[in-house]
Structure 1
Amino acid sequence: MKPVRKVFDNELPFSLLLDYKETKSPQRELPDHQHHWYEFVYIYRGKGTFFIDQTFYEMRRGDVIVVPGNTVHRGFPDKEEPVTSSAVFFSPYLVHNNAFSEAYAYLKLFDAAKKNKRYKYTLPPEHAKIVESDIDAIHHEWEMKRPDGGHAMALLLHLALLHLNRYCLPQTAEPGAPNALVPDWFREALAYINDHLDQPLELNVLAKRAAVSPAHFSRVFKQRLGMNATGYISTKRIFAAKDSLLQSNDKVEHIAMACGFESMPHFYRTFKKYTDMTPAAYRKGNRPQ
C-alpha cells in the first residue's frame, strides 16, 4: 500500500486549505500520507502521537508540527482524549510569490526542521494565543467568502509563518523530544532505511538486522505506520529522487540508480505511480524558472 496523497483542488483560491479545529479519531485520521504542499498543525487540546521522517512525537496543547512537502507523516489520536487541531496546507509558490521588495524566507522554519530533523515545537501560552489568532483570522476570511478574501488569506498566511519563525526557530538549537513509544529496533530500522536507500533493502535482511522474524517486522511496521515496509521504502526512494531532480543536473538514469532502483522501467513505473507524471515532467514543472 502506498501512502495516501492528499488531494488538493487546483481551483482552490491561492493554493491554500484549512482544516479548522477538527477533532481527530483513529477512524477519521488519514493513513500515512504525503503531498507536495507544505503544512503546519496546531494542537488545541487532547493528546496523541505524530510520525514524521523516522520520528514519533507526542502531541499536546500548544504544540506546532511543521511538515515540509513530500514528507511521509501520520497522526495517531489518543482514543480517550483525541486531538483537536487545525491544519494549514499551502503551496510553496504562494509564499514565494510576494510583492515585497525585501526578501523574507517565510519557509525557513520548514527548512530548519528538515535539516535538523526536528518537526515539533511547543509554544508558551502568550505565543500560542497569537498563532491561534492567526489561524482564526484565516478561517474567518474563508467563511466570509469576500471577492478579495483569497488575497487576505495569503497575507494572513505570511503573517502566521512569520510568527512561527519568530517563536519556533529559537527552539531549533535545543534537542528534540521524540517519544519512546516504539521499540529501539524499529527506530534503528527506519534510520538504516533512510541511510541506505541506494542499496538493496530486502525484508528478510532488514528483519535479520533487527533480530526479529520477517513476519513480526512486517506486522510492527504495519501497526506503527499504517503501511508496509516495501511501500515505505519506495516512497522514501521517490522523495530522494524528486529532491535530486530539482537540486541537481544529473541525468535521470544516474538519479534512479543512486536512489536504489534496479532498472529504469521500474523507476519510471514507480515514479509515475506516486506522482502521476514522468521524472522529466516533474523536473521541468517544478524547477524555478
Structure 2
Amino acid sequence: MKPMRKPFRLDPIFPFEIVFEQLRTTRNELPDHLHDLYELVYIHRGNGTIFIDNALYEQKPGDLFLIPGNTIHRAFSNAAEPVVSTAVFFAPAFIRSEWVDDGYAPLKGFDIARHKGRYKLSLPDELQQRFQSVLSDIDRETKSKEVGYRHAVRMQLQRLLLWVNRIPAARDPDSNANTRIGPHWMLDAMREIDRDPVQAGGLAELSAKAGVTAPHFSRVFKQFTGMNLIDYVTVKRIVRVKSLLLASDDNVEAIALECGFQSLPHFYLTFKKLTGMTPRAYRNSYLEP
C-alpha cells in the first residue's frame, strides 16, 4: 500500500511543531506515512514497536528516534502498556545559522541515520532527564507564546540536536564532517532571497541560476524550508514591510508596493495572517509609549 503523506499546517515563519507526551493508541496511530519535516521522537513511558524504513525497532523509555524528512515510518501501540511519547517536527531551515563551527553540523545525526539505517538511540539516564526538561520547556514556550518564544524554541531545539550529535552512537567516524545544511545552490538561493525578496526572481530564474530543474528546485526547497518558494518569498517581503513600517514615515500602501505587493487587498490579508494585526496597528503598537 502506498504510504500517506502527513499534512502539516505550520506557521510559514515558524516551521516547527511539538506533540508533547501524547498517549499512543491504535486510534491515533497513522498508517505507513512520511512528510517533508524532520522528526525527533522521544519515549517517556510504555513499550511498543516502530517501523522505520523497512526495519522494526522496539520502543522503551529513554529511546530517541531520528526520522529524516521523507522517511516512511509507522508506530504500533501496545494495548497493555501503551507508549507515551513526544514528537518534534521541524524544517531543516528552522535551525539554519549564518555561521558554522568546523566539524559540527546540527543535522549530522539525521544524515547518519538515513545513510547507515541507525534510527534509534538509547539515551543514558542523565541525558534522559535533560531531554525531558528541555522538551517540557519547548512545549511551554509554544503554548504561552510569550515575547521571543520562537527564538527560545529554536535555541532549545539546537540544544537537543547538540546533545544528539555528542552521543557516540550518533556519530560516524568514517565520514567526513559536513558543516552545510542543504546543498550550496539552495543556500545561495536563500541568501539571495534574504538580501532582496523583491528582485530575487521567481522559480525559473532561481532554478536556472542554481543549475537544476525547476521541479527539483521546488522539491528540495520545500524539504529544506518547510514551505514552497512563493510562501517563503512572501514571508521575507512581509519581514521587509515590518522593518520599513518602523523605520520610515511612508504610508502603508507605498511600502507594500515597494516590497513587491501589487495587490493591496492581498497584501492586507497576508500581513494580518502572518502577524495577527493590520499594518497600521503593527506600526502604532511600536509608536505608543
1:282 corresponding residue in structure 2: 219
C-alpha distance in structure 1 between counterparts of 2:39 and 2:110, whole Å: 9
- 1:90–1:285 Cα change, 3 Å: closer
C-alpha distance in structure 1 between counterparts of 2:81 and 2:34, whole Å: 25
How big is each residue's C-alpha offset from its partner over 1:177-224, in whole Å with a ceiling of 9 and x where there is no partner?
xxxxxxxxxxxxxxxxxxxxxxxxxxxxxxxxxxxxxxxxxxxxxxxx
SS of the residue aligned with 2:18?
strand
- Aligned-pair identity in percent equals 37
2:38 corresponding residue in structure 1: 38
C-alpha distance in structure 1 between counterparts of 2:122 and 2:160, whole Å: 15
SS of the residue aligned with 2:82?
coil
- 1:115–1:9 Cα change, 3 Å: same
8 Å CA contact 1:138–1:156 kept in 2: the answer is: yes
Matched AA of 2:219 = Y
How many residue pairs align between the two structures? 189
C-alpha distance in structure 1 between counterparts of 2:131 and 2:32, whole Å: 26
C-alpha distance in structure 1 between counterparts of 2:93 and 2:59, whole Å: 29
8 Å CA contact 1:109–1:169 kept in 2: the answer is: no
1:68 corresponding residue in structure 2: 68
C-alpha distance in structure 2 between counterparts of 1:169 and 1:54, whole Å: 20
1:20 corresponding residue in structure 2: 20
8 Å CA contact 2:4–2:33 kept in 1: the answer is: yes
SS of the residue aligned with 1:66?
strand
1:137 corresponding residue in structure 2: 137
> Is residue 2:51 matched to residue 1:51?
yes
Offset of residue 130 of structure 1: 1.1
How big is each residue's C-alpha offset from its partner over 1:112-166, in whole Å with a ceiling of 9 and x where there is no partner?
1111111011112111111111111111111211131111101111111111111
8 Å CA contact 1:121–1:171 kept in 2: the answer is: no
Offset of residue 286 of structure 1: 5.9
Matched AA of 1:116 = K
The RMSD of aligned alpha carbons is 2.8
8 Å CA contact 1:14–1:151 kept in 2: the answer is: no
Offset of residue 107 of structure 1: 0.3
- 1:19–1:12 Cα change, 3 Å: farther
Max Rg structure: 2
1:147 corresponding residue in structure 2: 147
Q: Describe how 1:3-14 pairs up with structure 2 within 5 A.
A: 3-11=3-11, 14=14
C-alpha distance in structure 2 between counterparts of 1:286 and 1:15, whole Å: 11
> Is residue 2:26 matched to residue 1:89?
no
Matched AA of 1:110 = F
Unaligned runs of 5+ in 2: 174-206, 230-289
8 Å CA contact 2:112–2:171 kept in 1: the answer is: no
Offset of residue 283 of structure 1: 5.2
C-alpha distance in structure 2 between counterparts of 1:42 and 1:284, whole Å: 27
8 Å CA contact 1:50–1:59 kept in 2: the answer is: yes
C-alpha distance in structure 2 between counterparts of 1:287 and 1:124, whole Å: 31
C-alpha distance in structure 2 between counterparts of 1:133 and 1:63, whole Å: 15
SS of the residue aligned with 1:58?
strand
2:100 corresponding residue in structure 1: 102
Q: TM-score, normalised by structure 2?
A: 0.59
8 Å CA contact 2:93–2:224 kept in 1: the answer is: no
Offset of residue 6 of structure 1: 1.9
C-alpha distance in structure 1 between counterparts of 2:87 and 2:129, whole Å: 16
SS of the residue aligned with 1:147?
coil
1:183 corresponding residue in structure 2: none
8 Å CA contact 1:46–1:83 kept in 2: the answer is: yes
2:118 corresponding residue in structure 1: 118
1:202 corresponding residue in structure 2: none
Matched AA of 1:33 = H
- 1:81–1:108 Cα change, 3 Å: same
- 1:131–1:280 Cα change, 3 Å: closer
